[in-house]
Amino acid sequence: MTTTAATDQHALRHNASVRAVLFDLSGTLLDERYLHHGLEHLAAALHQRWEIDPTVTRTRFMMAFRAVSHEYADQAFYLMRDVICRALEQLIVSCGHSPTRNELIHLEQLLWTAAIPTATPTDGAIEVLTRLRNAGIRTGIVSYADIPVFEALLKLTGLAGTTDVEICSEVARSCKPHPEIFHKALRSINVDPSDAMFVGDDADTDIVGGNRIGMRTALLSTRQFTVGDGSTNGPETQPDHHLDGLHDVINIVMSNDAHRRCA
């Protein structure tokens, strides 16, 4: 897509009606601090097992996770568990050790066992979802996650049942930015991509995925735990809106609706 074509497409979407808003989960509807908690437990476990400096784990884990995610990017579907295990393997091997598959699976489970109970909704998340639904806007959660992690996070944070559709990559058999996960969510609520907006914190997955199928897109301020590096330099990574917080979604949707009614 050329820069001019991308600009024209963004302009058209900017004036389109918004009948549905779909949200990413971690880092968007969920405060990402729960992942920091999980990483701390992971660092302690690696130090106990192989005497790996916890600072090394904190520094290298996300670097390895992004590198492995890039390797998997051309695949339409894969499990997050496999990406995490592969990233852990690279980290541990780089420190001179050889973990077994069972050890890697145990560490991946430890990460989530420590992280999930500490997860909380992002500031304003419940209020924004409630206000959108009260205004007649369909809502949904579209997440890169394996089923057990996804279901546990929704249940323990009170987000389960707060939207019209909840779908994770393992259920969809599709990982963002590949289109099928977005299309499945939109089909379930009978909304066309041109009438929907996707809100996320990762330009490489959330924004690229939404842009590719013609959704309007909104990017939250860069978070630490993202698959991509946060760059929005490429045409596909440019969102229609930059958000300081989730409450900005209300202003966008409501101002758009007012403009549409006046027109």
Q: Is the pLDDT of residue 12 over 50?
A: no
Question: HSE-up of 113 (CA within 13 Å, CB side)?
Answer: 9
Cis omega (within 30 of 0) on the bond before 177?
yes
User: Residue 261's pLDDT band (boundaries 50, 70, 90)?
Assistant: very low
Average pLDDT value for residue range 146-160: 98
| Burial bucket for residue 3 (CB in 10 Å: 0-12, 13-18, 19+) | exposed
| Burial bucket for residue 11 (CB in 10 Å: 0-12, 13-18, 19+) | exposed
If residue 248 lies in a helix (H) or strand (E), which one and from where to where? Answer: helix 247-262
* Residue 150 phi, psi dihedral angles, 5° rounding: -60, -50
pLDDT of residue 4: 43
Chain centroid offset of residue 224 CA? 12
Nearest to 201 by CA among 189, 193, 210: 210
pLDDT of residue 8: 40
Domain 3-31+119-262: which CATH class? alpha beta
User: Residue 254's pLDDT band (boundaries 50, 70, 90)?
Assistant: confident
User: Residue 7's pLDDT band (boundaries 50, 70, 90)?
Assistant: very low
Buried b (16+ CB within 10 A) or exposed e, 88-111: bbbbbeeeeeebeeebbbbbbebb
pTM of the predicted model as reported, rounded to 2 decimal places: 0.90
| Burial bucket for residue 17 (CB in 10 Å: 0-12, 13-18, 19+) | middle
What does DSSP assign to residue 98? -
pLDDT of residue 222: 64
Domain ranges of the chain: 3-31+119-262, 33-118
Mean pLDDT of the chain: 90
Name 165's bridge partners: 140
Cα–Cα dist 15/41, whole Å: 46
Name 198's bridge partners: 22, 217
33-118 is classed CATH 3.90.550: no
68-105 pLDDT, tens digit each? 999 999 999 999 999 999 999 999 999 999 999 999 99
Average pLDDT value for residue range 47-66: 97
Nearest to 144 by CA among 181, 117, 118, 114: 181
Q: What whole-number percentage of the chain has pLDDT above 70?
A: 87
Chain centroid offset of residue 47 CA? 29
Range of weakest confidence among 7-21, 142-156, 188-202 = 7-21
Cα–Cα dist 13/8, whole Å: 9
